[in-house]
Structure 1
Amino acid sequence: MASHILIAFFLFSSIQPFLAQSRTLKSENQDQFKSFQNLEGAGKGSTVEGLSKVKQYLKNLGYYPTETNLVTDHFDEVMESALKTYQNYYRLKVTGKLDSDTIKEMMIPRCGVPDNINHPTKQSHHKPGKFNMVQVIDEKVLKSVCSKAFKKWADVSQFTFEEAPAGSKSDIVIGFYSGDHGDRYPFDGPRNTLAHAFAPEDGRFHYDADENWSTNPDADQVDLETVAIHEIGHLLGLGHSQDKNAIMYRAIPYGTTKRHLSQDDIDGIHALYSSESK
């Protein structure tokens, strides 16, 4: 990967599709979380409506092999194994059941990049066209936020970042998308996956347009810069950290502002690029 990286911002000119779709998806997504709560206590051998959604959640995060078919609501041995791995990864009591602590963990807003386990979900290298791209905030605001986020990583690595001239080729592309946007990792509306980015040298960084984004978040909003710093870490090759103080920790609760790299983040980028680190 080149140490000098060009960045492009793609924004759609109309805000109306976002406003209309956000209202629809919000209701659907809240219903999904309510269904997760209704599954509390489910374990191996049970068949309960809604278990297939939990299976899909775990698959999206890398706890099932990519080719696994998850169409049934039956809690089988494979699901129990996936759930135990998830519980162990997040240092929960390993029960193999959908207990209250596990469900609470699943309901925390998070980055959509799969967790670092034995069979992570493979990321697509297909680069789609600009469909379902929407405008959420002013372009100047987004560029300012991302500029500050990139600087955090530039200050501790050999990388430098520059905005690509309009129409030119770039190494990184940043934009807002809704629902299924062509990269095999559809967004789910508010209150679950906030954003995702692809490992080097793919260069795509996608915000979920249906979240409530802000540069000064209240309890019901997501901080643009906090998420930008996190996703840039993925663009540079970092996975999720298990240090809750790290930028690269997978969860980013509403109202949280975390805009400084921890020592764990710095150690991670130095480990990846040790020969040329500052």
Structure 2
Amino acid sequence: MAPKLAISALLLLLVIIQALFGAQKGYTIEGLNQVKQYLKAFGYYSINGGSLTDSFDDVLESTLKSYQQHYRLKATGRIDSNTLKKMSTPRCGVQDIFNDSNDDVKPIIIRAFNTWAVVSNFTFREANPSDIVMGFHRGFHGDNYPFDGLGNVLAHAFAPQNGRLHYDADENWNTNNVIRLNQIDLETIAIHEIGHILGLGHSQDPNTIMYAYYRPGTIKRNLGQDDIDGIRALYSN
């Protein structure tokens, strides 16, 4: 969902952010709440508006590190020059990452991770900042692999230890257990892409999760034997 910020309000917000250059944990400065609003608008904050104060607290430091990590900046947890430059750059209004307000999406992602956890030695937990960052994007989105709109490429992920997983925001995503013929099942694709994050390549077996092709309107949420053998072979020790 795009942030509901008018253009004039966003320009004012960027001016305020520039005035906060150098701020770090422990500071209380008028305008810090606007930085929190900016980060919340793009999916980094899951707290309600009443908690968005002018105090540079532990939560803001952690959230800034998550933002910096997402854009491959040095994770200082401060409003440094590189972070300020990035925040001041014109950008797409689609959120970068999921937050707790995505009630339909979060359980799906948890189940997708658990699918791999039950057949491996991995355990996964929610963290901020995180080793794995997910988000919906359109077209060019900063990783040299632009999305192509509806159809064709649905998502992509990067092998260890990159930790990025991007979904094409233009797809008709399904978040239910009943799917329509033209929909893409989010959980199916999430399980597949998490496999890539863990280091797996594509399988030649069409019955596996790691098969490269997906037919719209289908749900395939169970690992095949080749998937299981692959993850166990990679992490056998």
TM-score strictly above 0.5:
yes
Which of 3, 13, 19 is the matching residue for 1:13? 3
Which of 103, 120, 129 is the matching residue for 1:157? 120
Where in structure 2 are the equivalents of 1:167-186 lying within 5 Å? 168-186=128-146
Partner secondary structure for residue 222 of structure 2: coil
Opposite residue 212 of structure 1, the aligned amino acid is N
Q: Please name the residue that 1:244 is paired with.
A: 206
Partner secondary structure for residue 103 of structure 2: helix
Instruction: Tell whether 2:210 aligns with 1:265.
Output: no
Where in structure 2 are the equivalents of 1:1-278 lying within 5 Å? 12-14=2-4, 127=72, 131-132=91-92, 134=94, 139-164=102-127, 168-216=128-176, 217-275=179-237
Residue 225 of structure 1 contacts residue 259 of structure 1 at CA under 8 Å; is this kept in 2? yes
Partner secondary structure for residue 232 of structure 2: helix
Q: In angstroms, what is the RMSD of aligned CA positions?
A: 2.5
Q: TM-score if structure 1 supplies the norm length?
A: 0.51
When the two structures are aligned, how many residues end up with a matched partner? 153
Q: List per-residue Cα deviations over 1:109-151 (Å, max 9, x = no partner).
A: xxxxxxxxxxxxxxxx973869536259961211110000000
Residue 14 of structure 1 contacts residue 134 of structure 1 at CA under 8 Å; is this kept in 2? no
Residue 240 of structure 1 contacts residue 249 of structure 1 at CA under 8 Å; is this kept in 2? yes
Residue 153 of structure 1 contacts residue 159 of structure 1 at CA under 8 Å; is this kept in 2? yes
Q: TM-score if structure 2 supplies the norm length?
A: 0.60
User: What is the distance in 1 between the residues matched to 2:72 and 2:2?
Assistant: 17
Partner secondary structure for residue 125 of structure 2: strand
Q: Please name the residue that 1:110 is paired with.
A: none
* Unpaired stretches in structure 2, ≥5 consecutive residues: 6-69, 74-85
Opposite residue 189 of structure 1, the aligned amino acid is G
Partner secondary structure for residue 144 of structure 2: coil
> 1:14/1:156 Cα in 2 relative to 1: closer, same or farther (>3 Å)?
farther
User: What is the distance in 2 between the residues matched to 1:144 and 1:134?
Assistant: 21
User: What is the distance in 1 between the residues matched to 2:103 and 2:160?
Assistant: 26
Q: List per-residue Cα deviations over 1:220-251 (Å, max 9, x = no partner).
A: 11001000000000000000001000000001
Partner secondary structure for residue 196 of structure 1: strand
User: What is the distance in 2 between the residues matched to 1:162 and 1:156?
Assistant: 16
The answer to which structure, 1 or 2, has the higher relative contact order (CA under 8 A, 6+ apart) is 1
Opposite residue 210 of structure 1, the aligned amino acid is D
Partner secondary structure for residue 269 of structure 1: helix
* Unpaired stretches in structure 1, ≥5 consecutive residues: 1-10, 16-124
Q: Which runs of 4+ in 1 moved over 6 A?
A: none
Identity percentage of aligned residues? 59
